[in-house]
Structure 1
């Protein structure tokens, strides 16, 4: 049976006890599959397509990757760090080139790449709508690469924005890291963070990813292994 590898950033990555209740959606992804499917979460805090490659993290996945495995690729948050040359990639050039490297890595090993647009930051416009530019040009760039390369796309940016829209500004706050001073010992001064998820938020995003797989015609081989809704 296949292994599903997650290559991504802090929005998907496993968080240690010192960071809780912050969580990444990859921590809860296994709960949507039967035990015959293995989720191997290689997402790491703070990585972009560039730094993940240059630090050898894709190479580490390649050592274990087997024919029939899946590579779930979700980057964008840190690719947009203009002030950090170790992570920044231009969405119209290097970002797209890097995504193609990940795609080719999986395909050349007999596996299946899957592109996931980044989870949206919880940002709203003045009229109360989720900000369509919450991650700049990166979601559109990934959609373009998916179309150009014939790679399955899970539009988690759009799905997470719809979740925020449904819940509203106040109703969506609990999905992210919003804590008052003294509310949790890991954050004695409190925290206001509209990028990283609470445990509840991470679970909701994992469910969105699973549902996106269920709705993707190119991923029908995974459908029997998803738990029924």
Structure 2
């Protein structure tokens, strides 16, 4: 496949805060669903001829670093990504529910394996800390992810992998809005307000469409430099087709 055969892809692996949702979940939405437009706009500002950035969202509700692989989704990520693409990885919300996926144990080991496999494709892995939850106590926004953000940051430093500290950025976003105004980022509806949630819902983990769009803008801001670098590298690549096994195909 030649570097210019298709637009650059950003492939997403993650949990429900990243994942696309079915219509019956509205207004609940993951940030990955809105990343394509936000990222394309950012990239276009710096490189007018870049064209659209295609986002392939293979995140899933409830996913851990292990279940994402066990369910075949990680194989889908590797199939969707090609040399020169970008693979963004955000887990941690659900790994904490499993003792064997402790931050400095199974979680780090699973992320490390993902990094190795993406690099083996010739694609760029990007690690993300988990986005913050909106959990307040006595007016203070709590840290609810324990050591998982620190473990992702440490692995990124050790393996020289780009990192998006989404935990820090989304905590800052929630705090800047304040305890009550930040509710609008998350799926919170009173009883009777939506036929889809007749009993109402008060969710401090999952975004609304508006919240997902805002968070996608944050992700796009942080990820755009890496995408621009990948685009520049693709433009300099030889104009020839290569199979993944390294053999050259007639072009």
Q: Give the structure-2-normalised TM-score.
A: 0.82
SS in 2 for 1:99: helix
If asked which structure has higher relative contact order (CA below 8 Å, sep 6+), I would say 2
- How many residues in Structure 1 have an aligned counterpart in Structure 2? 216
Gaps of 5+ in 2: 1-6, 41-50, 233-251
Structural mapping, 1:79-228, within 5 Å: 79-82=95-98, 89-126=101-138, 128-131=139-142, 133-214=143-224, 220-221=228-229
Superposition deviation, residue 123 in structure 1:
1.2
State whether residues 31 and 216 of structure 2, in contact with CA within 8 Å, keep that contact through their aligned partners in structure 1. Answer: yes
**1:46: which partner in 2?**
62
SS in 2 for 1:178: strand
Q: 1:64 to 1:90 in 2, by over 3 A?
A: same
Q: Give the structure-1-normalised TM-score.
A: 0.89
Which whole-Å CA distance do the structure 2 matches of 1:92 and 1:75 have between them? 14
Q: What CA RMSD, in Å, does the superposition of the two structures yield over aligned residues?
A: 1.7
Offset from partner CA, 1:73-125 (integer Å, 9 cap, x none): 0000010114xx7xx61111110000011111110000100001111111124
Which whole-Å CA distance do the structure 1 matches of 2:90 and 2:163 have between them? 10
State whether residues 8 and 48 of structure 1, in contact with CA within 8 Å, keep that contact through their aligned partners in structure 2. Answer: yes
Superposition deviation, residue 54 in structure 1:
1.6
State whether residues 5 and 40 of structure 1, in contact with CA within 8 Å, keep that contact through their aligned partners in structure 2. Answer: yes
**1:227: which partner in 2?**
none
SS in 1 for 2:198: coil
SS in 2 for 1:33: helix
**2:83: which partner in 1?**
67
